[in-house]
């Protein structure tokens, strides 16, 4: 039974479509997205295999599953090697008014138990809503499985009096200290500007519900070592 005959089955068709997407993503050097599609496509084929009685079709399914598992495993090893070498780069494109992009959905895969320090560069941690955004990010770090002990924040000084900015950051610093986390603050006048707008509606507290402004999130991974 050929691959084309498998495509006549609705379940197989869906799985093969996802696996083709995985191949396309891998050829575009979008490894993390490709790996997700490989896993989803393989899972779909395994479900089809469980309900298949025809032995010839089973052999074909097992062959396709095995081939793509090998590709997925090879890709995973390559991505792990890139992370170790500091060459890992993941880009997430967020469309205008898209939802489902909370801090957890963007960063949870990187917050393993080995994470002990986090560096943040954000030129606009000044006004109340921006301080709340930063606080929400800190809450995520405290709740995650990671063992974060230090958060480094590089931001710019408020051009006005800076009273709200200073008092807000000091309150966050004290609150984090109560949870055993140190907040290290540093200010720079040369950090690039950006703008954040917040709408007071569903999504103000739950970031998964918040419509996003169109943007691109670039995530780079490198292995930090510290000499003791």
Q: For residue range 187-208, what is the model confidence (pLDDT) as tens digits?
A: 887 765 443 233 334 444 555 6
How far is it between the farthest Cα atoms of the chain? 76
Buried b (16+ CB within 10 A) or exposed e, 160-191: eeeeebeebbeebbeebeeeebebeeeeeeee
Q: What is the pTM (predicted TM-score) of this model?
A: 0.52
Of residues 116 and 220, more confidence is placed in 116
Question: Which residues sit opposite 154 in a β-bridge?
Answer: 121, 186
Q: What is the pLDDT of residue 191?
A: 67
> What rounded mean pLDDT belongs to the chain?
78
Q: What phi and psi values does residue 89 have, to the nearest 5 degrees?
A: -145, 120
Interatomic CA distance for residues 54 and 64, integer angstroms: 16
Nearest residue to 204 via CA among 132, 103, 120: 132
Domains and CATH numbers, the chain: 10-85 (1.20.58.80), 89-220 (3.30.870.30)
Interatomic CA distance for residues 13 and 35, integer angstroms: 19
**How far lies 40's CA from each of 18, 99, 201, in Å?**
7, 22, 34
List the structure tokens of 20.
């083709």
């Amino acid at each position: 039974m050929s691959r084309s005959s498998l495509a006549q089955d609705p379940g197989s068709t869906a799985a093969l479509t996802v696996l083709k997407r995985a191949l396309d993503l891998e050829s575009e050097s979008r490894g993390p997205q490709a790996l997700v599609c490989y896993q989803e496509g393989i899972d779909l084929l395994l479900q089809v295999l469980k309900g298949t009685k025809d032995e010839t079709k089973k052999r074909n399914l097992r062959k396709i599953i095995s081939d793509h598992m090998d590709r997925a495993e090879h890709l995973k090893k390559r991505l792990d090697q890139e992370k170790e070498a500091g060459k890992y780069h993941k880009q997430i494109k967020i469309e205008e008014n898209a939802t489902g992009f909370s801090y957890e959905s963007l960063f949870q895969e990187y917050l393993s138990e080995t994470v002990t320090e986090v560096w943040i560069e954000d030129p606009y941690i000044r006004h109340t809503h921006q301080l709340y955004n930063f606080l929400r990010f800190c809450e995520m770090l405290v709740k995650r499985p990671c063992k974060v002990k230090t958060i480094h924040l590089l931001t710019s000084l408020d051009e006005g009096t800076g009273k709200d900015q200073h008092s807000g950051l000091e309150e966050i610093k004290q609150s984090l200290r109560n949870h055993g986390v140190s907040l290290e603050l540093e200010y720079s006048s040369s950090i690039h500007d950006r703008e954040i707008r917040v709408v007071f509606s569903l999504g103000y507290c739950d970031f998964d519900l918040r419509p996003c402004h169109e943007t691109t999130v670039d995530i780079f991974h490198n292995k930090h070592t510290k000499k003791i």
